[in-house]
Structure 1
């Protein structure tokens, strides 16, 4: 597939898969589950064309553990899932973190707990940012808002994963994954599987080779030494990798906070509200982890509150926003659950907040 430099119409999931191929990914393992199955299907034939490895596993547990093994050899790897499948990836993600292994993981979020349903949702935010495995596991999390940004973030994800020797999660959703938009694909990148000195290369004649396991086993002072190494890594990521987009925040009386498909609606709401004389602004998350707390340093002194706009039922952005604002502003929420938020409703809620008439809106007072 060529089309480098030209805009083509692609479904979000398929564009993501092609971007991974062009980033040098040559190992994919995963299990089909709606709404991300197109990624797996695309990889099933595209990997053959680039002499990569595609494995449809028996479950998500195998998918995440296979990329652990492939990453240990220096390959660029990918696994993808959604809903209950994302839950099954958690243990393997923790092992990737413990072994300092780069990997890219995709969650095309869908509705509900348990089996849930196949509709779009943003209800995996807390699992993506506060979960991702046991034992202080923190994973860089990118939140694309368009098909083009999905492609761009795939390239970024591989670069970040190798820069920090750390897994990176792309938190998409069914709306982004299933929509079709124009996208410009990058040029094919070559990835040298032998460029790292830490990778395993196999052993012959029963010789003892390298082992990829918990990094703490090899640290001076064992886990006490690893604690500082890991804490320093997370601090470095937090300082350097916060990403966001601010839209008319400097003079805003009310600031919406959103990511993914919801943030696109908020942009429309900001434009419409401004025409009506309502000073609405937007902070769009490009990273959920690290959370872009720096974005909130530019709020105006007369800002009356924060409006969370998300497809969930529990205001999952709340705790991060409270910390970022140091609890000094009331936080309101427009929670649309399975429905994509509406621009007009977002604007109406902003007006209610400014008129001190927000009794119909979920409110968190500082």
Structure 2
């Protein structure tokens, strides 16, 4: 993530230590010096997100990272970034909660990330990588989307992804000087009219117009940037919906139940916002059984239920608190609901009854 940010033209990083994402600021503290950038270990997450606002106003590609409680402290700043229409990248390497929780992998910050988290009507684009390669690729994409829509973009991983090691292919680095000029930045009004960037709009009608402008932008994000992966859906009679690390576990589970003859596939959201509502709704017309698997007590399941609009049964298998289920555990849940719904063929029913006998 750190190297991808540098190669994407990020030259400013402000953050505060918290496990399990400390490898990112540790890496950036040395790497940014090599490319003439600036690293600041702020005195708190509150300070770091406001430093991000300042660098974004000046037109820089800027980033901060943290983990769950630290991201909670940044929520006011995220609302300001959205209201000010400033591009920035924020990464959350999620740990167990609520409260101080633990440092184990979890996905329990889904509501916080996809509902804005802070105050007011706004949206944060949320990307959900499932591998180290995607951590790299989606970090670069996050900076591009932030600039394109002048909006904060969040990368949402988890503690397992923050500690795993995998091969990664990096693209060639870009020169920040080659990025498109941002004609709205605050660079000092020398030889041009002054510019103002603010979110304090006291007249209700003026603020309403600003909010509707943001809504139109968010509608464009939904139309253009919704992304997901389909896995073994061609003949699926049951579909698992999972993201990030949970989706990797789900793939292992699906391979196991496929060997048992169960026709199960996976839909993996790569953008948590915008959420892939349309493909899920279309899928629910032919698949009547969905199993949502997430490393939380159940949060994304609400978006899945809203997407299918009652056209399919939606079940949840959630493990909160940093517990990581094995593929065998998830396979057991898949087969339980598969058999319960009577989705197996007659020969499979016979085999199952024979095995039970």
Secondary structure, counterpart of 2:176 in structure 1: coil
**2-side partners of 1:274 and 1:194: how far apart?**
48
Moved more, 163-172 or 298-307: 298-307
**2-side partners of 1:353 and 1:302: how far apart?**
17
Contact in 2 for aligned 1:36/1:81 (Cα 8 Å): yes
Partner of 2:292: 308
1:132 aligns with 2:84: no
Structure 1, unpaired ranges of 5+: 1-15, 359-366
Q: What's the offset of the Cα at 1:302? A: 5.1
Q: 2:7 aligns with which of 22, 31, 55?
A: 22
Q: RMSD of aligned C-alpha atoms? A: 2.1
Contact in 2 for aligned 1:273/1:347 (Cα 8 Å): yes
Moved more, 300-309 or 106-115: 300-309
**2-side partners of 1:318 and 1:105: how far apart?**
24
1:336 aligns with 2:319: yes
Q: 2:185 aligns with which of 192, 199, 220?
A: 199
Partner of 2:300: 317
Partner of 1:88: 73
> Closer, same or farther in 2 for the Cα pair 1:132/1:357, shift >3 Å?
same
> After TM superposition, which residue ranges in structure 1, 4 or more long, deviate above 6 angstroms?
none
Partner of 2:266: 282
Q: What's the offset of the Cα at 1:349? A: 1.3
Partner of 1:326: 309
Contact in 2 for aligned 1:215/1:226 (Cα 8 Å): no
Contact in 2 for aligned 1:64/1:89 (Cα 8 Å): yes
1:179 aligns with 2:164: yes
Contact in 2 for aligned 1:250/1:298 (Cα 8 Å): no
Contact in 2 for aligned 1:83/1:116 (Cα 8 Å): no
Q: What's the offset of the Cα at 1:333? A: 1.4
Correspondences of 1:78-157 after superposition (within 5 Å): 78-157=63-142
**2-side partners of 1:284 and 1:333: how far apart?**
15
Secondary structure, counterpart of 2:48 in structure 1: helix
> Closer, same or farther in 2 for the Cα pair 1:344/1:304, shift >3 Å?
farther
Q: What is the TM-score normalised by the length of structure 2?
A: 0.90
Secondary structure, counterpart of 2:126 in structure 1: strand
Contact in 2 for aligned 1:67/1:79 (Cα 8 Å): yes
Partner of 1:296: 280
Deviation digits for residues 11-64 of structure 1, max 9, x if unmatched? xxxxx0010000000010010000011111111111110010110000000110
Deviation digits for residues 182-229 of structure 1, max 9, x if unmatched? 001111111237811100112579x98322212857x99511321321
> Closer, same or farther in 2 for the Cα pair 1:357/1:328, shift >3 Å?
closer
Contact in 1 for aligned 2:122/2:214 (Cα 8 Å): no
Secondary structure, counterpart of 1:234 in structure 2: helix
Partner of 2:347: none
Q: What's the offset of the Cα at 1:279? A: 0.8
Structure 2, unpaired ranges of 5+: 343-357
**2-side partners of 1:258 and 1:30: how far apart?**
29
Contact in 1 for aligned 2:288/2:311 (Cα 8 Å): no
Secondary structure, counterpart of 2:335 in structure 1: helix
1:253 aligns with 2:253: no
Partner of 1:162: 147
Q: What's the offset of the Cα at 1:249? A: 2.0
Contact in 1 for aligned 2:79/2:116 (Cα 8 Å): no
